[in-house]
């Protein structure tokens, strides 16, 4: 996998010491006003004025990474030389020699001298805050579970924060990383009239916003950095047409973000269906994604492509933006048509505004997927839009990551799936599988209390 020169590689951070972070620095500055119609203090921080919280939900999201993701006793190629489902992601090809090597490694299991596994644990976003005091994780090797506390490292692109687990001298049939992440999510209200008063920065953006202007792997580029220039040229032409030749900086940031969101909603046809490629019910191999150039050339996209494409459009216009990949607990409230829903991977976009008094960034959420569900034509710009800033569903949407693949020097065998690892002497080439679930913290406590009671009274 190609990596950009300005990425911070994992190997450069292996010796850095970091403790588990409390909810202090970087915490969201928003407050819960409770009633959206309550008067706002004009001297309050910008986030409190334009993006107050609504109702909150407390969740515990569980993540399980299984390696290998398929049964080792099943060879990757059948007796006719046909590749079995799940060993290759759509569009991937390998030589027979490589398959012979994979089959040989499958017979040996998982073996490495050292491994650094990473998974994102974002501390906060426009609609969530992680409660790191009760974060838990463990690694299970051939059925033997060991509780482990990872090292947390911040400072990655777009505010990404990575947890790292270091393993040594493993020779096993199966490995499982289990993570439990407690979070609080909330509805967002949006005072668009107040937000329209926010102008472009008079100087530079703060550090985290500056990184959110940089090209993102799997969005602006996939194989080489040359794609960045090619895709930017296409974005420039599209932007010129959409804005009728206007300079983006001549348009107030929120109005620019709104107009471009409407254009992307009209432009993208999510006719290719779900972005997650599943190996079995409940497990998935990874995300099928399209780069900017692929979206522009085809217009037909996977479900999660419009949010990442919108973020790229924002970045190209000079507005810092990031994609938020999350776990949508629609089943907890019924889906948006009134029936019961289904938990699934979802995504939305956040763009940055600058609070000039504190020189801090306020992230504003835009759910272009649900915007399109309201209609494929852009609504009038002088009206407020549900899912532009304001989003009651975000209390049920748990952020996982700001990137489909970690923004550091790790790899996976198959499709991107938020995690990655770096092994010596080499990274095993077998595919993984990923399972994500969540429950309310109250349900979790009930389950734990019941389990404790069973242990006391067997």
The CATH number that applies at residue 206 is 3.10.620
What pLDDT was estimated at residue 10?
34
- Residues whose CB falls within 8 Å of the CB of residue 202, separated by 6 or more in sequence, listed in order: 356
Backbone phi and psi for residue 80, each to the nearest 5 degrees, phi listed first: -95, 5
**One domain, residues 263 and 296:** yes
Distance, in Å, from the CA atom of 45 to the CA atom of 360, rounded to the nearest integer, reads 9
What pLDDT was estimated at residue 367?
97
**One domain, residues 274 and 176:** no
**One domain, residues 329 and 246:** yes
**One domain, residues 114 and 250:** no
**One domain, residues 263 and 159:** no
Using CB atoms within 10 Å of the CB of residue 370, give its burial: 0 to 12 exposed, 13 to 18 middle, 19+ buried: middle
**One domain, residues 204 and 142:** no
**One domain, residues 238 and 281:** yes
User: Considering 355, 375, 401, which residue would you say is the last residue of a domain?
Assistant: 401
**One domain, residues 231 and 254:** yes
- CB 285, CB 69: distance < 8 Å: yes
Instruction: Classify residue 334: in a domain, yes or no.
Output: yes
Length of the chain: 458
**One domain, residues 208 and 169:** no
Question: Alpha carbon 240 to chain centroid distance?
Answer: 29
Instruction: Classify residue 35: in a domain, yes or no.
Output: no
Instruction: Classify residue 189: in a domain, yes or no.
Output: no
- Pairing label, strands 151-153, 162-172: antiparallel
Integer angstrom CA distances of residue 146 from 83, 141, 142, 182, 212: 35, 8, 11, 20, 36
**One domain, residues 76 and 200:** no
- CB 22, CB 132: distance < 8 Å: yes
Residue range(s) defining the domain that contains residue 105? 62-182+406-456
**One domain, residues 311 and 327:** yes
**One domain, residues 68 and 142:** yes
Tens of pLDDT along the chain (458 residues)?
A: 444 433 333 333 333 323 332 333 333 334 444 455 666 677 889 999 999 999 999 999 999 999 876 544 444 455 555 555 445 555 555 566 766 776 676 666 788 999 999 999 999 999 999 998 889 999 999 999 999 999 999 999 999 999 999 999 999 988 999 999 999 999 999 999 999 999 999 999 999 999 999 999 999 999 888 899 999 999 999 999 999 999 999 999 999 999 999 999 999 998 888 888 776 667 888 898 999 999 999 988 999 999 999 999 999 999 999 999 999 997 666 554 443 345 689 999 999 999 999 999 999 999 999 999 888 888 899 999 999 999 999 999 999 999 999 999 999 877 899 999 999 998 887 778 899 999 997 765 655 555 555 555 65
Angle at 212 between CA 210 and CA 216, to 5 degrees: 130
What pLDDT was estimated at residue 39?
64
Angle at 163 between CA 161 and CA 169, to 5 degrees: 150
What pLDDT was estimated at residue 446?
54
Any idea what DSSP says for residue 75?
-
Instruction: Classify residue 8: in a domain, yes or no.
Output: no
pTM for this model (two decimals): 0.85
Distance, in Å, from the CA atom of 440 to the CA atom of 447, rounded to the nearest integer, reads 11
Count of domains for the chain: 2
Helix (H) or strand (E) holding 46: helix 46-50
What pLDDT was estimated at residue 68?
78
* DSSP secondary structure of 276-316: EEEEETTEEEEE----HHHHHHH-B--TTHHHHHHHHHHHH
Three-class secondary structure of residue 1 per DSSP: coil
Of the candidates 172, 151, 146, the residue with the CA atom closest to the CA atom of residue 162: 151
Using CB atoms within 10 Å of the CB of residue 383, give its burial: 0 to 12 exposed, 13 to 18 middle, 19+ buried: exposed
Of the candidates 370, 388, 379, the residue with the CA atom closest to the CA atom of residue 254: 388
């Amino acid at each position: 996998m190609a990596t950009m020169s300005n990425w911070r590689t994992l190997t450069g951070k292996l010796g850095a010491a970091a403790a588990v972070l409390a909810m202090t620095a970087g915490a969201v500055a928003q407050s819960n006003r409770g009633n959206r119609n309550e008067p706002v203090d004009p001297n309050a921080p910008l986030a409190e004025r334009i993006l107050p919280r609504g109702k909150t939900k407390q969740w515990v999201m569980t993540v399980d990474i299984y390696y290998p993701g398929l049964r080792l006793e099943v060879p990757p190629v059948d007796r006719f030389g046909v590749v079995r489902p799940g060993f290759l992601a759509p569009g991937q090809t390998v030589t027979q020699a490589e398959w012979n090597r994979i089959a040989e490694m499958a017979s040996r299991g998982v073996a490495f001298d050292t491994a650094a596994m990473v998974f994102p644990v974002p501390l906060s976003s426009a609609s969530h805050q992680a409660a790191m005091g009760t974060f838990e994780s463990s690694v299970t090797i051939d059925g033997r579970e060991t509780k482990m506390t990872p090292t947390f490292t911040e400072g990655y692109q777009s505010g990404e924060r990575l947890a790292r687990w270091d393993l040594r001298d493993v020779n096993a049939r199966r490995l499982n990383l289990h993570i439990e992440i407690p979070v609080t999510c909330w509805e967002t209200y949006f005072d668009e009239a107040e937000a329209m008063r926010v102008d472009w920065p008079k100087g530079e953006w703060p550090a985290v916003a500056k990184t959110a202007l940089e090209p993102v792997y799997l969005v602006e580029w996939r194989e080489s950095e040359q794609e960045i220039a090619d895709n930017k040229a296409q974005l420039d032409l599209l932007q010129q047409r959409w804005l009728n030749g206007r300079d983006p900086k001549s348009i107030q940031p929120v109005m620019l973000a709104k107009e471009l969101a409407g254009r992307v909603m009209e432009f993208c046809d999510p006719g290719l269906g779900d972005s997650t490629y599943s190996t079995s019910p409940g497990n998935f191999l990874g995300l099928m994604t399209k780069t900017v150039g692929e979206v522009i050339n085809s217009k037909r996209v996977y479900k999660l492509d419009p949010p990442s494409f919108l973020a790229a459009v924002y970045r190209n216009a000079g507005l810092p933006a990031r994609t938020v990949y999350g776990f949508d607990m629609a089943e907890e409230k019924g889906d948006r048509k009134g029936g019961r829903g289904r938990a699934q991977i979802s995504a939305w976009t956040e763009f940055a505004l600058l609070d000039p008094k504190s020189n801090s960034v306020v992230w504003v959420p835009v759910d272009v997927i649900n915007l399109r569900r309201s209609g494929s034509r852009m609504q009038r710009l002088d009206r407020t839009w549900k899912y532009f800033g304001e989003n009651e569903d975000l209390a049920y949407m748990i952020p996982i990551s700001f990137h489909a693949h970690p923004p550091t020097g790790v790899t996976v065998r198959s499709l991107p799936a938020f995690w990655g690892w770096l092994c010596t002497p080499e990274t095993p080439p077998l595919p993984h599988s990923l399972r994500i679930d969540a429950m309310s913290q109250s349900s979790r406590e009930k389950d734990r209390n019941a389990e404790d009671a069973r242990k006391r009274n067997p």
